Amino acid sequence: MTDSKNKPAPRPTIKAVRGTRDLLPDQTPLWNRVEATTRAVFSRYGFGEIRTPVFEATELFARGVGEETDIVSKEMFTWEDRARAASEKAQNLTLRPESTAGVVRAYIEHKLGETGQLQKLYYIGPQFRRERPQRGRYRQFWQIGAEVIGPQTSGAESPLRDAEVLEMLASLLDELGIRDWKLELNSVGNAEDRARFNVALREALAPVKDQMCPDNQRRAETNPLRVLDSKEEADQEIINALPKIADYLGEESREHFEQVKAALDACGVPYHVNPRLVRGLDYYTRTTFEFTVTTGLGTQNALLGGGRYDGLSEMLGGPKAPGIGFAIGEDRLILTLQAQAEADAAASGIAPAEPKLDVYIAPLGIAQNPAALKLARELRREGLSVEVGDGSFKIGKSFGFADKLARHIILLGEDEVATNILTVKSFATGEQRKISRAELIGAL
């Protein structure tokens, strides 16, 4: 006679934290397809997988990504690790906001350059940025990235590598079925070019920066390059009049860029040179690029971005090791594919079929449960996908479940267990047959 209105004391429910989310089984097949395709494509180009830690010393990102970038200055999940002994120093740690710095750290730490070989490394994994969540922008998000890095003698600096990476990305997006991608390409020059350009830019900005928005005024001071890709309407006239990086490229950088473009032309990979494409991370030199799409992402239309980082290894205290790499926003890739699939379904009026199991086994009565599980075990071992009902279910209920889950139902009553002649009904045809256990696999 307990009072059913006596509800348990309310407890606050725990939810996924802001900007994070669960990927349920209706989502993960697409993720797995994307990742499997990526691995297959990358391995055809000689890339091997690297797995680095999801957290690193904060210093790595400060030096690698750049102290003045938004990522480092305001978007990192950083904490002070407890010192476990008086003699131990507390360490400042950070959840990785991107993976290139970590990969290059590993390259240096494991002396991969000493092999003399070009290293082609890829990764797939979560990254963390403390930004305001939005469509296609999460606080835990996934990136698929690859890096080509090695000593100069390995050919890591060759424009061939830039073109190969870009061609690989074009092939990957094609193979995944991304239909409307666009490659934006630019060169920001080598360290010397950038230094000269920065001086010229500062000179040009000095008399006009007061007329610009506060953000651009700040950038004019801290990172003048970033003024160039500002989208602030009111400042566009001023920005268009600023010096162009292309005019400050040295002969070497210019020639490098020309060769990248020539190789892309030869491969038939379309691109648009965008002189204002300046990527946000400090380590980029020479080639920079971005692939954008028009479906599914709204204003977060950059699907992936990357570029060359010839000085990064040295910035991290390693040997000279030119490299080029990119990071694909996997979440955005998935959103794009989903948006395309929805558009296709709407156009054709055909909803994609749900995947079904091969067999649903319905024991009729709990006495048949052990036999049902035994049969399931055997069929699964022979490679079939199988679900087992419970003998307490009414037969109608079993059919209901079976029809949703599987292509065939096997009824397992006393007779079937005793004779080893199974009753099998196929939902596609509605046909019901008696099949001996020995002939079952062939009959399905």
Nearer to RNA by Cβ, of 98 and 157: the residue is 98
Q: Work out the number of other CB atoms within 10 angstroms of the CB of residue 38.
A: 21
The secondary element (H helix, E strand) that includes residue 286 is: strand 285-292
Distances (CA, A) of 92 to 56, 58, 73, 186: 9, 6, 15, 36
Q: Shortest distance, CB of residue 335 to RNA, whole angstroms?
A: 9
The answer on whether 123 is annotated among ligand-binding residues is no
The answer on whether 67 is annotated among ligand-binding residues is no
Q: Shortest distance, CB of residue 251 to RNA, whole angstroms?
A: 28
Q: Is 290 in the site for RNA (CB under 7 A)?
A: yes
**CA dist., res. 374 & res. 363, Å (int):** 11
Q: Shortest distance, CB of residue 389 to RNA, whole angstroms?
A: 12
Select the residue interacting with RNA from 8, 317, 396, 442 (CB under 7 A): 396
Select the residue interacting with RNA from 222, 414, 439, 443 (CB under 7 A): 414
The answer on whether 221 is annotated among ligand-binding residues is no
Q: Angle at Cα 228 formed by Cα 224 and Cα 234, nearest 5°? A: 110
Select the residue interacting with RNA from 189, 329, 363, 391 (CB under 7 A): 329
Distances (CA, A) of 403 to 28, 183, 197: 23, 46, 67
Nearer to RNA by Cβ, of 113 and 335: the residue is 335
Select the residue interacting with RNA from 107, 141, 197, 271 (CB under 7 A): 141
Strand partners, 436: 421
Nearer to RNA by Cβ, of 19 and 155: the residue is 19
The answer on whether 157 is annotated among ligand-binding residues is no
Q: Shortest distance, CB of residue 151 to RNA, whole angstroms?
A: 25
**CA dist., res. 209 & res. 411, Å (int):** 79
Q: Is 308 in the site for RNA (CB under 7 A)?
A: no
Say if CB 185 and CB 271 are below 8 A apart. Answer: yes
Q: Is 403 in the site for RNA (CB under 7 A)?
A: yes
The answer on whether 130 is annotated among ligand-binding residues is no
**CA dist., res. 33 & res. 22, Å (int):** 18
Q: Is 147 in the site for RNA (CB under 7 A)?
A: no
**CA dist., res. 332 & res. 340, Å (int):** 12
From 26-34, 137-145, 161-169, 381-389, span contacting RNA (CB under 7 A): 137-145
Q: Shortest distance, CB of residue 182 to RNA, whole angstroms?
A: 13
Nearer to RNA by Cβ, of 122 and 151: the residue is 122
Single-letter residue type at 396: G
DSSP reduced 3-state for 387:
strand
The answer on whether 279 is annotated among ligand-binding residues is yes
The answer on whether 143 is annotated among ligand-binding residues is yes
- Residues numbered 88 to 127 that lie near RNA (CB under 7 A) are 98
Helices assigned H by DSSP within 224-356: 236-240, 251-267, 312-315, 330-348
**CA dist., res. 89 & res. 82, Å (int):** 8
Q: Work out the number of other CB atoms within 10 angstroms of the CB of residue 140.
A: 17
DSSP 83: P
The secondary element (H helix, E strand) that includes residue 304 is: strand 302-308
Strand partners, 434: 423
Nearer to RNA by Cβ, of 49 and 414: the residue is 414
Q: Angle at Cα 383 formed by Cα 377 and Cα 389, nearest 5°? A: 45
CA-CA-CA-CA torsion sign (154, 156, 162, 164): positive
From 236-244, 260-268, 322-330, 372-380, span contacting RNA (CB under 7 A): 322-330
Q: Is 198 in the site for RNA (CB under 7 A)?
A: no
Select the residue interacting with RNA from 113, 151, 159, 305 (CB under 7 A): 305
Q: Is 399 in the site for RNA (CB under 7 A)?
A: yes
- Residues numbered 2 to 31 that lie near RNA (CB under 7 A) are 10, 12-13, 15, 17-20
Q: Is 328 in the site for RNA (CB under 7 A)?
A: yes
Q: Is 408 in the site for RNA (CB under 7 A)?
A: no
Q: Three-state secondary structure along 339-372?
A: HHHHHHHHHHCCCCCCCCEEEEEEECCHHHHHHH
Q: Is 443 in the site for RNA (CB under 7 A)?
A: no
Select the residue interacting with RNA from 155, 243, 275, 280 (CB under 7 A): 280
Select the residue interacting with RNA from 236, 299, 420, 436 (CB under 7 A): 299
Q: Work out the number of other CB atoms within 10 angstroms of the CB of residue 121.
A: 23
Q: Kindly write out the interface string for residues 52-91 of this chain, putting x where it contacts RNA by CB under 7 A and - elsewhere.
A: -----------------xxx---x----------------
**Chain positions contacting RNA, by CB under 7 A:** 10, 12-13, 15, 17-20, 69-71, 75, 98, 129-138, 141, 143, 215, 219, 226, 229-232, 279-281, 290, 298-300, 302-305, 327-329, 331-332, 364, 394-397, 399-400, 403-404, 411, 413-416, 423, 425, 427, 430, 432
- Give the residue numbers of the binding site: 98-100, 129, 143, 147, 279, 283-284
